[in-house]
Amino acid sequence: MRKKATREKIFPKIRYKRAPIWTYFLLWCVGIYCKIRFGLRYNRDQIKAVKKIKGPIVILSTHPSPMDTVTTANAILSKRPSMLSSRMLYYYRVYRLMIKALKNTIPKKQYLTDIECIRHIKKMIDAKVSVLIFPEGRESIDGNFQGFTDALGKLIKWLRVPVVSIHSPGCFLTRPRWLPGFRIGRIETEVKILLNADEVDTLTAEEINSRVRAAIDYNDFDWQARNKVEFKSKEFKRAESLFRILYKCPACGAEYKNISDGDELRCTECGNRVVVGPYGEMTALDGGVSLPRIDKWYRYQQDMLLEEIKRKGQDYSISTEVKRAEYDWDKLKFVYKESGVLTLTLVGFEFVGDTRKIQFVRPNNPPAIHSDLYFEKIILFLEDDPHEFTCTGYERPAKFNQVVQAMSSAFPTELRKKQPQST
């Protein structure tokens, strides 16, 4: 009973009303700060057009980094929408307090189909409240569009309301996943009325998905190269912590031998040196080997993994030593439990510790995992119980993420057949 009461405290009853005015006033104040600090810009004409739409709307926004929550909210202040938020955030006190202040936020189970969340969205629209959805369902690791499930088009047709898209180039590069802080450059938030109610009725789900994909597809590194926008920080050099996602040396193939050295990324195995330029370009030094940009290096790793997984077949696995922490429902925080080994196979995740063996379903909708790249943590769920794994062994979260994606690409049918239940 105590655990049930605590769950209700963490996930309070949802109010089917617009968010309180004072919460969006605070978001507006944060938006003013972002304009001054990070060079945030908006296309005002479209924002005014959205404001004139009567009744509820569905807002679809890209999700490259935590910054887009602020940029998106400021673009649709007049609607004060209900926002879909990862259930994971509710387990951390600071995020939980911010989310609960909005009173109408809808918790979403990431990487799994969530029927309850869909019901809440429909109830919110029926109550004449707009809904903000991040179709990608997770933050980008490499500054590229992460895609979305085909079910989005069906959901939009079911809701039968106008659709607005929001895209914020520069958000990712302001707060990339591999850094613990921010950089200063420019953010351009682009708002567009994508579909009116009549178009939602007449277009097929596939046609709607095609329009949404074209509207919110992005690559922050392409945008940076075209517009020559430099992102600077007094704390972080250009190559700071890049080794957390660029773990494979393109010269010798060694993994986890790269280290950051100012604006350079250097392999301690073969000595390969690469310098990061002001606009994201990467150049090899002293006759070395490099990929043109960070996102292309990350894609190179993904392609190499996919080849390896296809070659080894369904016997492929990846393991690393970890420290496991469980969420304590009395203390409302993660508490260390034991050390062990976390393994990912085609069937799913398995943790074998000093005292316990646990199996987890491998998320496949979309194929990704909760991860903190800087603090090297992976979070997996048994229903509503999160388990936090801090990587202490050879492999790291960025590669686990890429393996999950590569497995889904290599063996989509087998994954559907072999998904176990969490035990």
Model confidence band, residue 276 (pLDDT cutoffs 50, 70, 90):
very high
> Do 320 and 394 meet the contact criterion of CB atoms below 8 Å apart?
yes
Amino acid letter for position 338: E
- Rounded CA gap, 265 and 403, in Å? 23
Question: Which of these, 211, 187, 159, lies nearest to 75 by C-alpha position?
Answer: 187
Task: Kindly report the pTM of this predicted structure.
Answer: 0.91
* Structure confidence by residue, pLDDT tens digits, 91-121: 888 888 888 888 899 998 877 778 899 999 9
Q: What is the DSSP string of 215-262?
A: HH--BHHHHHHHHT---B-SS--TTTTGGGT--B-TTT--BS-EEEET
Note the pLDDT tens digit of each residue in 251-272: 999 999 999 999 999 999 999 9
- Stronger pLDDT, 185 or 11, i.e. the higher one: 185
Question: How far from 323 is each of 13, 365, 384, 388, CA to CA, in Å?
Answer: 34, 26, 20, 8
| Rounded distance between C-alpha atoms, residue 230 and residue 273, angstroms | 22
* Interval 51-62: pLDDT, tens: 999 999 999 999
Burial readout 243-282 (b: 16 or more C-beta within 10 A, e: otherwise): bbbbbbbbbeeebbbbebeeebbbbeeeebbbbbeeebeb
Would you call 396 exposed, middle or buried from its count of C-beta atoms within 10 A (0-12, 13-18, 19+)?
buried
Mark 141-158 as b/e (b = at least 16 C-beta within 10 Å).
bbbbbbebeeebbebbee
The 10s digit of each residue's pLDDT in 189-228 is: 999 999 999 999 999 999 999 999 999 999 999 999 999 9
Query: In which element (H, E) is residue 387 found?
Result: strand 385-391
Query: How does strand 377-382 pair with strand 282-285?
Result: unpaired
DSSP 88: G
* Lowest mean pLDDT, pick from 69-73, 284-288, 369-373, 412-416: 412-416
* CB neighbour list of residue 208: distance below 8 Å, 6 or more residues apart: 152, 153, 156, 157, 163, 195, 200
Structure letter (DSSP) for residue 277: -
- The SS3 call for residue 300 is helix
Would you state the pLDDT for residue 278? Answer: 95
User: Which token pair is 247?
Assistant: 């773990």
pLDDT classification of 422: cutoffs 50, 70, 90: very low
Indicate the average pLDDT of the chain: 90
CATH code for the structural domain at 314-418:
2.30.29.30
Q: Which residues pair with 106 in a beta bridge?
A: 84
User: What pLDDT band is residue 421 in, cutting at 50, 70 and 90?
Assistant: very low
Q: What is the CA radius of gyration of the chain?
A: 22
C-alpha of 419 from chain center: 23
Q: What is the pLDDT of residues 286-344, one digit of tens each?
A: 999 999 999 999 999 999 999 999 999 888 999 999 999 999 988 889 999 999 999 99
Instruction: Domain 2-227: state its class.
Output: alpha beta
Confidence category of residue 382, pLDDT binned at 50, 70, 90: confident
Residues 6+ apart with CB under 8 A from 153: 204, 205, 206, 207, 208, 209, 212
Place of tokens 């310098």: 275
Q: What is the full DSSP assignment across 349-384? A: EEEEESS-EEEEE---SSS--EEETTTTEEEEEETT
Distance CA 377, CA 392 (A): 9
Tokens 């955030």: give the residue: 89
